[in-house]
Amino acid sequence: MRKSLIALVTVILAFCPLLVAQQSMNNDAVIKLVKAGLSDDLIVSTINASSGTYDTSANGLIALKGAGASDKVVTAILLKSSGAAPAAPTQSAAGSSLPAGIDDVGVYYKDKSGAWTPLMPEIVNFKTGGVLKSIASAGIVKGDLNGHVANPHARTGVTFPVVFAVYVPEGTAITEYQLLRFHVNSGSREFRSVTGGVMHVSGGADRDSIEFQSTKIASRVYQITLQSSTGKGEYGLLPPGATGSSNMGSSGKIYSVSIAE
């Protein structure tokens, strides 16, 4: 009897994404799935298979985390909201498959074993236009985009050379991504993207956006290598459209690493 009950529950959970996919999803629906004890893979499959409207503001994402949603689930929501649905493996221009380990739109880094490892995005909060703000002695004028990420260091630590692979969404160019150097505060990281003018303070301010070179290694996959000349510190790759909206207080995602010597 017990084995039959377990088998029945297993079947129900397996078909749960199909049942929920018939309904429009939102933050509350995801929280219900989390509270019900469904696995991350089932919840992510449900998000990907369903239409939905999600609150990806700072408060919305914090509420999801507070309810027990994993980073994997939150990332799926951010991708779904941005329209960057998981992409099926494609063929490179040379006819070969994607590099092993790279299968979805996103950013990857090469670990110590030489394998491509997904880099999970962090939540970044933005303030734009109309407010004079100073970050690390750099004056910001109207039109600039100020990004704020919690915690002084990224969860992922790497050493030089740092090798990224960026699998871009269909119709997106690698040049639309920004490589940014963070200013580290006691409890957070901040950056200023180059979307507006710069008011020089105390002799001027360095741009937080860093030029980079990329090499195409497969269809829609580009490799970026950072050498020691870049300098140790906190860095992030900001995808296009990450701000979500031009209003103050918007939020999005950034792929960040902490680089040691």
**Confidence label for 21 from pLDDT (cuts 50, 70 and 90):** very low
In this prediction the pTM is 0.57
Q: Give 150-179 pLDDT, tens digit per residue.
A: 999 999 999 999 999 999 999 999 999 999
Q: How far apart are CA 242 and CA 259, in angstroms?
A: 23
Q: Give 204-253 pLDDT, tens digit per residue.
A: 344 688 999 999 999 999 999 999 999 999 999 999 876 544 455 578 89
Q: Give 50-101 pLDDT, tens digit per residue.
A: 888 999 888 888 899 889 998 888 888 988 887 765 545 444 443 458 999 9
- Residues 191-207 have a mean pLDDT of 48
**Confidence label for 134 from pLDDT (cuts 50, 70 and 90):** very low
Q: Where are the domains of the chain?
A: 2-82, 106-260
Q: Which two tokens mark 36?
A: 């019900």
CA nearest to 242, candidates 124, 85, 108? 124
Q: How many CB atoms lie within 10 A of CB 204?
A: 11
CA nearest to 261, candidates 162, 184, 160? 160
**Confidence label for 198 from pLDDT (cuts 50, 70 and 90):** very low
